[in-house]
Structure 1
Amino acid sequence: MAGGERTFPRKRREEMLRVAAELFHERGYAATSTADLAERMGIQRGSVYYYFETKEGLLLELIQDVYGRARASLARVQAGDGDPVAKLRALIEDHVISFTTNLIPGALVINESGSLAPEHRDRVRADAAAYEAGMRELIEEGRRAGALRADVDARLACMVVLGATNWVHRWYREDDERTPEEIARAFSDVLIAGLRPQTGTSSPPLSSST
């Protein structure tokens, strides 16, 4: 019985996060109230505060969970075998798969991070900066090894990769004819190819310098 009592609040909390994510995605964070959440779940409004002190606490946890998974993926990739390009490919594919299999939380990171209070925005920005720094280092390692273009600007290349992969939530649908893994592979093929050394061409350098 005691085990069941411990499990029930955890399951209800997880359900609350899932429903809150759906509502924030459907209506926007600002337009969603705790009363809306309670109504969707069929509970009293006061019950929401048993699990979360504020509405923002729900949004913060949803966003932090996305970054937590991203940083865990980065750590796995960094600790794994393979050259820098293989690791970069794995990170790109993990990112795309995460955004296609967790569409709503990923969309909230992109669309609603600005709704957080300044101190909470700073917290998630620190997570984002750590993830971006890890990706940039993989690009730098690939460049130093000669596996990626010598003229590549790692910061700009990182922004290109994230700009492409973060936008998946705008067009991907669960009934897409391609699996998340297939889409992830296609993304990594295109993005890595753009960073590979090009022979016999006079294309301008991928650099942020002017």
Structure 2
Amino acid sequence: MKDVSVADEVTRAAVELFAAQGYANTSVQQIVEAAGVTKGAMYHYFESKDDLLFAIYDRMLTLQQSRLDEIIARGGEVDDVLRAVCVDVIETSIDFLPEGTVFFRSLHMLSAPRQQEVTRRRRVYHDRFAALLQQGQDAGLYRTDIPQPVLIAHFFSDVHYLSHWYSPEGPETKSEVAEQLTDLFLTGIRLTNGSAT
């Protein structure tokens, strides 16, 4: 239990420092001081600062992929499944708001192999999301006059922008924001009488 808390404390301190002052401006010494551990303890879990940055992404990506898999495995009408996926990725992104801030600011600073791994894993998520869209299009639920990559970029641009404006202290809860953004997205892609196909 103690070992797990050391890794967690180092990760928590790194997220806070990377979000506040940037990855490049944060030293290993600052991280271990903020975590209240020694460098030796940190290096027991993380080989380098790059390793620590990747671990932050890994935690968020692993959770969101796991949640996506669970929602799809439950089955149901494609529109309900897609709604649940959209709501979940927004809510988990809000839960990991500091990590998301670090992600988009510092992804380019990862080593090339780590950047490729992050890109690969994000592609797996996006491909499963695209497959849900395709199912809905095949069922005549969603419009097909706009390319799928544009529809996907439209939704995820809202998700990626959350860290720029959302505050847990604000008037809307994460669930309210998730439902609102999901409604806007689904309304925009859903076929209605007179919609282009």
TM-score (norm 1): 0.88
1:153 aligns to 2:147 (yes or no): yes
Gaps of 5+ in 2: none
So what's the TM-score if we normalise by structure 2? 0.94
Larger gyration radius, structure 1 or structure 2: 1
- Which amino acid letter does the alignment assign opposite residue 106 of structure 2? E
Matches within 5 A, 1:68-147: 68-147=62-141
Runs of 4+ in 1 over 6 A off after TM superposition: none
Structure 1 gap ranges (5+): 1-6, 206-210
Distance of 2:67 and 2:36 partners within structure 1? 36
2:32 corresponds, among 33, 38, 41, to 38
- The C-alpha deviation readout for 1:123-179, integer Å capped at 9, x for no partner, is 111100000101111111101101111323222111111111121111111101111
Higher alpha-carbon deviation: 90-99 or 143-152: 143-152
What is the aligned counterpart of 1:64 among 42, 49, 58? 58
Report the Cα distance in structure 2 between the residues aligned to 1:104 and 1:11, rounded to whole angstroms: 19
Q: Distance in 1 between matches of 2:148 and 2:139?
A: 14
- The percentage of aligned residue pairs carrying the same residue is 24
Q: Distance in 1 between matches of 2:150 and 2:69?
A: 22
SS at match of 1:147: coil
Letter in structure 1 aligned against 2:88: D
User: 2:169 matched to 1:198?
Assistant: no
Q: How many residues align?
A: 197
The Cα of 1:65 is off from its aligned counterpart by 1.1
Asked whether the equivalents of residues 23 and 37 of structure 1 are also in contact (C-alpha less than 8 Å), the reply is: yes
Match 1:187 to one of 176, 181, 186: 181
